[in-house]
Amino acid sequence: MGKVTAMMNLDARIPTGPIEEAWDSARFEMKLVNPANKRRHSLIVVGSGLAGASASATLGELGYNVKCFCFQDSPRRAHSIAAQGGINAAKNYQNDGDSIYRLFYDTVKGGDFRAREGNVYRLAQNSVHIIDQCVAQGVPFAREYGGSLDNRSFGGAQVSRTFYARGQTGQQLLLGAYQALERQVDTGQVTMIPRTEMLDLVVIDGQARGIVARNLITGKLTVHLAEAVILATGGYGNVYYLSTNAKGSNATAIWRAHRRGALFANPCFTQIHPTCIPVSGDYQSKLTLMSESLRNDGRIWVPKQKGDKRPPNEIPEDERDYYLERRYPSFGNLVPRDVASRNAKAICDEGRGVGETGLGVYLDLSDAIARLGVETIRERYGNLFDMYQRITDEDPYKVPMRIYPAIHYTMGGLWVDYQLQSNVPGLFVLGEANFSDHGANRLGASALMQGLSDGYFIIPYTVGNYLASTKLSKVTASHPEAQAALASTQQGVAKLLAIRGKRTVDSFHRELGKIMWDDCGMSRNAAGLKEAIGKIRALREEFWQNLNVTGSGDDLNQSLEKAGRVADFLELGELLCIDALERNESCGGHFREEYQTPDGEAQRDDEHFSYVAAWGYTGAGKPWDLTKEPLEFAYVHPSQRSYK
């Protein structure tokens, strides 16, 4: 019934044999679509970020008929545009010991042994082709004087494998993919449909065959059909309301697909970035990331004394606590994101946080300024310092910056197999929207790599294999399942407008975000999670009674758009907490207070939790079904991460 239900054994279709040859042999075994037949196949790509734009462009180049959707006015505005730091690739141009194997190893370990080895190895292999492709498109990566590509080390990696374009790497990579996409729009292979939001997945005979989408200008709902549907709609960090994500980032596309049967994997694996500008007031709409690279030269500290209100410059050296250096003598200020974030929270919970709200720690570059001079620091971090000063009106050359952790990235997402296909045949999921490669914690500069690997180098093969090996019947928009999806979407929109209650969408979203942050944020415990689940259910109930959306459904109505997204966050938030409660261990970004080592570090439990938690939707208000995909490690042996 327009939905995939029966949950069998999950087959991740990971190729057997040596990992180095797995992707090659998988490609060899894939069926090919005859070039002349490609134009007879139509595909839908939802999303125009790095994953969606690269997929649409490449599929267009191959000759498929592609329709690409995004909710912004132009595909170039996708959230990927905001990525700053860089993109990893195992080029080993620096001759410093990098290799595909090392990038693979680092990523599996960094993910705290909760990702599939096969997927990660392929990602590391593809990384080198990504750089070549982007350079050829005209992406202006940073260069050395001699003309070769420059690299930096990032996120505590011991090799320099990060390629970058000033502090705007995401922008330049996305513009490269966007331009490739516009080239295909020009040739007519790709039809770009902006300002249009997917609100439902059309499943016919158990196969994904299209979407229901709302034109955000006219309000019109339309069924779009295709032979396969590719979702590249980004992450769900905004379930926390305040995050570093763009305001429009949302989970609606993947959530509506989940409600049609697609499994949701590891929702509780969320990443908190340690260096963001602290919250300054209730009106705050989003959080701004300060690049991680600042930790290369900055020292993090708080006063030793609780409630010490003196300005930082008046606190003498011996009354400061450089807590990361104290607790982690070998990694110091460069511990991974999850460790740095948790420690900042713990310090502030003790009452030693700084700034007006007490939710902040100092990131101090004065030693580096004294050592290297203002000019060097300006060259390295000038644009970041400017941004900080623009927002806070404080001069970081003189006063230490205040930083606090913020939600940044979501490792969880729709479950996909090695072919990036969900458990719903014909539904593929790329980029941050899937759960695939980062396990319980993502390393810096790896999301851009994954999005482009999925879009440029994986989906073109795997979707072809699907089309060539699957019998697809002819369907039209008048098919009963398509019409049923259209009707239920129509009702959903009408329902939001009909409540006419007292509270705005943002007020619900903020309240949800606070519950999530307090009880399912940097550290979690069973009691808090249970309480959060209760609170979310109550809030959801109130939402459907007391929501106030003004205006109508037949023109541009931004609060109506938000209302639909928040309705989905209110369900996803609950599942996130359920998943966090079920996972009785600490790993990566998921820290359960009950499971820590005597000195307060994350305690993994490989014996019981070395699996992917894939959740199936069983109906509104009904408990989710859990299917476990066991993880096996044949190459990188699971060990306790230690940064002491």
Partner 1 sequence: MKVKLTIWRQKNPDSKGQFITYPVDVVNGEMSMLECLDVLNETLMGRGEEPVAFEHDCREGICGSCGFMINGIAHGPLPATTVCQLTMRHFKDGDELVLEPWRSRSFPLVKDLVVDRRSFDRIIQAGGYVSVSTGNAPDGNAIPVGKEIADRAMDAAACIGCGACVAACPNGSAALFTGAKIAHLGILPQGKPEQDRRAVRMVAQMNVEGFGSCTNIGECTGVCPKEIPLEEIARMNRDYLLGAWRERGNVVTAIAPVTDWNFGEK
Ligand X SMILES: Cc1cc2nc3c(=O)[nH]c(=O)nc-3n(C[C@H](O)[C@H](O)[C@H](O)COP(=O)(O)OP(=O)(O)OC[C@H]3O[C@@H](n4cnc5c(N)ncnc54)[C@H](O)[C@@H]3O)c2cc1C
Q: In angstroms, rounded to a whole number, what is the distance separating the alpha carbons of residues 319 and 485?
A: 63
Output the CA torsion sign for 296, 297, 300, 304. positive
Rounded least distance, CB 517 to ligand X, Å: 16
Which position has the token pair 């959801």?
A: 540
Closest Cα to residue 430, out of 419, 446, 442?
419
Q: Are 410 and 270 in contact (CB under 8 A)?
A: yes
284 binds, among partner 1, ligand X, none (CB under 5 to 8 A by kind): partner 1
Residues between 484 and 503 with contacts to ligand X, criterion CB under 6 A: none
What is the SS3 assignment for 592?
A: strand
Per the document, the length of the chain is 644
Is there binding between residue 640 and partner 1 (CB under 8 A)? no
Decide whether 105 or 461 has the Cβ nearer to partner 1.
461
Decide whether 120 or 529 has the Cβ nearer to ligand X.
120
- What are the residues whose beta carbons fall under 8 Å from the beta carbon of 146, sequence distance 6 or more? none
Q: Are 143 and 434 in contact (CB under 8 A)?
A: no
Is there binding between residue 293 and ligand X (CB under 6 A)? no
Is there binding between residue 446 and ligand X (CB under 6 A)? yes
Residue 9: φ, ψ to 5°: -70, 140
Rounded least distance, CB 321 to partner 1, Å: 27
Q: What is the CA radius of gyration of the chain?
A: 24
592 binds, among partner 1, ligand X, none (CB under 5 to 8 A by kind): none
Is there binding between residue 198 and ligand X (CB under 6 A)? yes
Q: CB count, 10 Å around CB of 324? A: 25
Report the run of H or E that residue 9 belongs to, with start and end: none
Instruction: Candidates 1, 6, 36, 145: give the one binding partner 1 (CB under 8 A).
Output: 145
Is there binding between residue 82 and ligand X (CB under 6 A)? yes
Residues between 29 and 48 with contacts to ligand X, criterion CB under 6 A: 46-48
Residues between 556 and 575 with contacts to partner 1, criterion CB under 8 A: 556, 558-559
558 binds, among partner 1, ligand X, none (CB under 5 to 8 A by kind): partner 1
Both tokens assigned to 322: 């450089």
Burial 311-323 (b: 16+ CB within 10 A, else e): ebeebeeeebbbb
Q: In angstroms, rounded to a whole number, what is the distance separating the alpha carbons of residues 529 and 535?
A: 10
Burial of 298 (0-12, 13-18, 19+ CB in 10 A): buried
Is there binding between residue 303 and ligand X (CB under 6 A)? no
Count residues binding partner 1 (CB under 8 A).
85
Rounded least distance, CB 143 to partner 1, Å: 4
The residues annotated with a catalytic role in the active site are: 337
Decide whether 71 or 264 has the Cβ nearer to ligand X.
71
- 450, amino acid identity: Q
Letters for 74-93 (x = contact with partner 1 by CB under 8 A, - = none) are xxxx-x-xx--------x-x
Is there binding between residue 149 and partner 1 (CB under 8 A)? yes
Residues between 269 and 298 with contacts to partner 1, criterion CB under 8 A: 280-286, 288
Instruction: Candidates 27, 183, 380, 537: give the one binding partner 1 (CB under 8 A).
Output: 183
Site for ligand X, rule CB under 6 A: 46-52, 69-72, 78-80, 82-87, 169-170, 197-198, 232-235, 244-245, 249-250, 252-253, 289, 408-409, 431-433, 445-448, 451
